[in-house]
Amino acid sequence: MDHLLYPQNCPNFVEIEPVFDTTKRHKIKLLNKSIEDENILNEIIKLYQSGKKVLIILNTVKKSQEVFKKLKAITYKNINIKLLHSLFIRKDRQKKEKQIKKDFINKKPVIWITTQLIEASLDIDYDVLFTEITTLDSLIQRMGRVYRRKGRNIDETDNPNIYVLTQNPSDKGKIYNTEIINLTKMALEKYDEQILLDKDKQNLMEEVFNTEKIKKTAFYKKFEDNLKLLEFGYEADNKKDAQKIFREILNLDIIPENIYQKNLEEIENLIQKILDKNLDKIEKLLSIQKLSSFSLSLPFFRLKNKFPTSITPKGMKQNLFIVSFDYDDELGLRLDKEKEDIDFL
């Protein structure tokens, strides 16, 4: 035990330098354009027509739906364009997640439009990425969906395989902090049209998330304020504050009304099975899972002026609500006030 009590007897530790993968996977290009720019959309179509698998990652569900419809409108009907985001009912989302994995193995070209849910949850490997600007940590996760497999390399003379669109990101600073995004953009500019190695990404992370820089941002001040609230306990000053907090943290499991009507008999049968006290536990769990497949999780504040109708019978723990949003398995749930025309699809 002496070596633990006396520092002079402690072994010498050698600091090991981090080992980075030197594979050249990503060459980036910053474009001061938005994803809906006509030239960008035409470039995406050209890449598809040349046999590429193109991934488009956007910051909001609404923007992903808009871009999906625009690309569909300007291309041939048989072009392979697909959409994945968080506002699909669970069974449709699971199908799409399986399909996006199959498509990167398939030799045929494809265009997948998606959102941040793909950043870390899916193991895929596409040829080219078009992404809205976001914070650096998120951006690096998105890059990881391109040239992921061993043996894929990019050369200095090759065209970029990562296109970062810096103009008017669709979340408008509500999801990703604007100040951090600006720091990200400034840091990336020196790598424009250059290969970005893993070591470079680490250096960029240290540059963007430098403590002294972050401390000067409103983002840091808000973080400190929220931390103090947690440390000292927080009670809403009035009913209005309490309702706002409740709306922001609460998620509801909802079934779109047209899905409910279409599957009414099956949903009612599943509810009866769940309530059956004599039913086998495994069968009951399977019934709960099947019932859940018709629903999606929606933040309460996104209901806006819609009033959810509960279909949860007495004695059932699982809370389910019907909401009259438009829904289909191609676009998902649409939160717009007015019904959108999708006849061209």
DSSP states of 194-232: SEE-HHHHHHHHHHHT-HHHHHTSHHHHHHHHHHHHHHH
Reported as a pLDDT band with limits 50, 70 and 90, residue 143 is: very high
What pLDDT is stored for residue 35 in this prediction? 95
Average pLDDT over residues 325-343: 72
Cα–Cα distances in Å, from 115 out to 125, 175, 330?
A: 16, 12, 15
Average pLDDT over residues 311-338: 86
The owner of tokens 């509960």 is 310
| Average pLDDT across the chain, whole number | 85
Reported as a pLDDT band with limits 50, 70 and 90, residue 256 is: very high
Average pLDDT over residues 93-120: 93
| pLDDT at residue 86 greater than cutoff 90 | yes
C-beta of residue 195 within 8 angstroms of C-beta of residue 156? yes
| CA separation for the pair 205, 194 (Å, rounded) | 17
Average pLDDT over residues 317-333: 92
Domains of the chain, each with CATH number or no CATH: 26-215 (3.40.50.300), 239-331 (no CATH)
In this prediction the pTM is 0.84
C-beta of residue 138 within 8 angstroms of C-beta of residue 118? no
| pLDDT at residue 319 greater than cutoff 90 | no
Between 211 and 206, the more confident residue is 206
Average pLDDT over residues 114-118: 92
Average pLDDT over residues 179-190: 93
Reported as a pLDDT band with limits 50, 70 and 90, residue 240 is: low
What pLDDT is stored for residue 344 in this prediction? 25
Angle, helices 61-74 vs 38-49, to 10°: value is 70
* Range scoring the smallest mean pLDDT among 22-36, 102-116, 161-175, 303-317: 303-317
Q: 50: alpha, beta or left, given left = phi > 0 and alpha = psi -120 to 50?
A: alpha
